Amino acid sequence: MESFQQIIFNLKQYWADRGCIIQEPYDLEVGAGTMCPETFLRVLGPKPYRVAYVQPSRRPADGRYGENPNRLYKHAQLQVILKPSPDDVIEQYLGSLEAIGIDLRKHDIKFEEDNWESPTLGAWGIGWQVMLDGLEITQFTYFQQCGGIDLDLVPAELTYGLERLTAFLQAKDSVYDIEWAPGVTYGDVRFEDELQFSLYNFEMADIETLWQLFALHEKECQRLLAGWPDAPDKKRYPLLPAYDQVLKCSNLFNTLDSRGAISVTERVGVIARVRKLAVGVAQAWVEQQQ
């Protein structure tokens, strides 16, 4: 039985062997590996790129105080970007499952239609959820648009839910029982994290403060974007820091949402604000790369 970390090692090695650079997680709060600049910005433009990284992904509303065996405030995704997508991408993907000890002749694999979309990022793609014995283990997406821009090269994005996959391989009913490293469980490592952030996100986060922070980050991003058209030296212009502000806004939005501070009516408007920033950065980035 492979440990959580061993499964990660194996997957990274597998994709490294197929030409991916192995990145480290991005050091800001994100809701999904897709939001990291390594995906969101790199899929834009005509330059081929292959990368794999584990990204801890925060979804404040999914927190359950460490009580629910299947839901986590923060889970780990293995994100793989193959740009452009190779013709045998699905076979390569299935090979990665075999690399972590899944004998596919003894299991049931189905590809069920699931088109991914992120309104906050102005991004969408076509693809599947990959079902292994009835469990969704991977989101497989052919990116079509990002930041509202049609992509030059179509990347395949593979997003593995690592906790689920490990629970499956270790036959554990609770994510907290999976073995992270020999003798150490996932619960040992992460329980406090789940408990305390659930408490904060659902009960204690100060709504007023979060809105202020949101406005500050939005303003900072807008300021940078406003300077872009007339920037004297475009190659050196700080668009990456502008994108960090977008990520901040996105996480604050998620936290406010889990705190119950955003009505359904407001929701659409706030999403549109974040998307506007994301699209602005994406467009500038494409120009900068030319």
Partner 1 sequence: MSVPFLLEIGTEEIPDWMIPGALEDLRRRFLEVMPGAAVSTDATPRRLVLRAARLAEREADREELIYGPPKAAPEAAVAGFARKQGISAGQLEVRQTPRGEYYTYLKKVAGRLTRDILAGALPDIILKIYFPKTMYWTGKGGPRFIRPIRWLVALLGDEVVPFEVAGVRSGNVTCGHRRLGKARIPVTIRSYQRRLARNYVLLSAAERRARIEAGIRELGLTPAPDQALLDKLVNLTEYPTPIAGDFAPEYLALPEEVLVTVMRHHQNYFSVREAGGSLAPRFIAVMNTDSDPEGFIRQGNERVLRARFNDARFFWETDQKKSLAARVPDLAHVTFQAKLGSYLEKTRRNVALVTELGGDQDARRAAELAKCDLTTELVKEFTELQGVVGGLYARVQGEGEGVALAIYDHYKPVSMEDTIPRTPAGQLVSLADKLDTLRGCFGIGLVPTGSRDPFALRRAAQGVVKILVEGKLHIPVRRYLTGIPELEAFLEERIRYYFKDIRGFPYDEVNAVLASGWSDLVDVEERLSALHAVRPTENFEPLAASFKRIQNILKQAQFTEGGDIDAMLFEAGPETDLYEAFEQVRRETAGREYLPALEAIASLRPKVDLFFDKVLVNAPDERIRRNRLTLLHKLLKEFSTIADFSEIVTTH
Sole window of 17-25, 106-114, 192-200, 244-252 interacting with partner 1 (rule: CB under 8 A): 106-114
- Binding flag, residue 133, partner 1 (CB under 8 A): yes
Is 104 a binding residue for partner 1 by CB under 8 A? The answer is yes
Q: Is 223 in the site for partner 1 (CB under 8 A)?
A: no
Amino acid at 164: R
Find the part of the chain contacting partner 1 (CB under 8 A) among 22-30, 33-41, 99-107, 278-286.
99-107
Q: Which stretch binds partner 1 (CB under 8 A): 84-92, 197-205, 214-222, 236-244?
A: 84-92
DSSP codes joined into one string, 21-65: EEPPPPSS--SSGGGSHHHHTTTSSS--EEEEEEEEEE-GGG--T
Residue span binding partner 1 (CB under 8 A) among the ranges 22-30, 86-94, 187-195, 231-239 = 86-94
CA-based end-to-end distance of the chain = 48
Query: Does the protein bind partner 1 through residue 173 (CB under 8 A)?
Result: yes
- Tell me the C-alpha distance between 194 and 68, whole Å: 10
The distance of closest approach from Cβ of residue 208 to partner 1 in the complex, given in angstroms and rounded to an integer, is 18
Alpha helices in the chain, H assignment, sequence order: 4-17, 37-40, 89-99, 162-170, 186-199, 207-227, 239-258, 264-289
Nearest to 96 by CA among 165, 164, 143, 41: 165
Contact flag: residue 144 with partner 1 (CB under 8 A): yes
Contact between 94 and partner 1 by CB under 8 A: the answer reads: yes
Among the listed residues 142, 197, 253, 285, the single contact to partner 1 using CB under 8 A = 142
Residues in 44-83 that interact with partner 1 by CB under 8 A: 64, 68-71
- In order of 30, 32, 56, 62, 259, the CA distances from 59 in angstroms are 8, 8, 10, 6, 12
Structure tokens at 117: 């979309």
Told to check if 135 binds partner 1 by CB under 8 A, we report yes
Quick check: 99 binds partner 1 (CB under 8 A)? no
Give whole-number Cα distances, 147 to 126, 128, 151, 280, in Å.
Answer: 16, 21, 10, 8
Report the C-alpha gap between 196 and 247 in whole angstroms: 22
| Nearest distance from C-beta of residue 255 to partner 1, angstroms | 18
Residues between 240 and 269 that touch partner 1 (CB under 8 A): 263-265
**CA separation for the pair 12, 263 (Å, rounded):** 41
Which chain residues interact with partner 1 by CB under 8 A?
Answer: 64, 68-71, 84-85, 87, 90-91, 94, 104-113, 115, 125-126, 128, 132-135, 142, 144, 150-154, 168, 171, 173, 263-265
